[in-house]
Amino acid sequence: MANIVEYNEDNFSDFERYEGVAMIGFYAPWCESCGLLNLRLQQLAAQFDEVKFGQVNVDQAPIVTLRYNVYGLPTLLIFKHGVIVERIAGLQSLARYAKTLRATLAAD
């Protein structure tokens, strides 16, 4: 299973510079839906070895949160070659996340 890295202002540039497909979830410990998002990220990480996974605690990384205009939780961003290609606000099904990742991986 792929590792889900916790990002903040100090290390987020590592995530932004990744040259492949990457998915990052923005969450807060007090957000109930965010706990389900974390579970889904773990399930996706087990399915998609070629994708880099991460998460950002919005309470501990307010600058990154504002830079990416994250105003609702949970929010997922999918990057390809360092550029956001998909923004998914609110908790969605595992199938929806997987379908979006497959489409992103297949797109040239």
Among all chains, which residue has been given the structure tokens 């309470």?
59
* pLDDT tens digits along 22-76: 999 999 999 999 999 999 999 999 999 999 999 999 999 999 999 999 999 999 9
Phi-psi domain of 81 (left: phi exceeds 0; alpha: psi -120 through 50; beta: other): left
Q: Comparing C-alpha atoms, which of 56, 44, 51, 47 is closest to residue 81?
A: 51
Q: Comparing C-alpha atoms, which of 15, 37, 24, 28 is closest to residue 82?
A: 15
Tokens of 96: 């929806």
* Domain definitions of the chain by residue range: 4-100
pTM for the whole thing? 0.94
Please tell me the CATH code under which domain 4-100 is placed.
Answer: 3.40.30.10
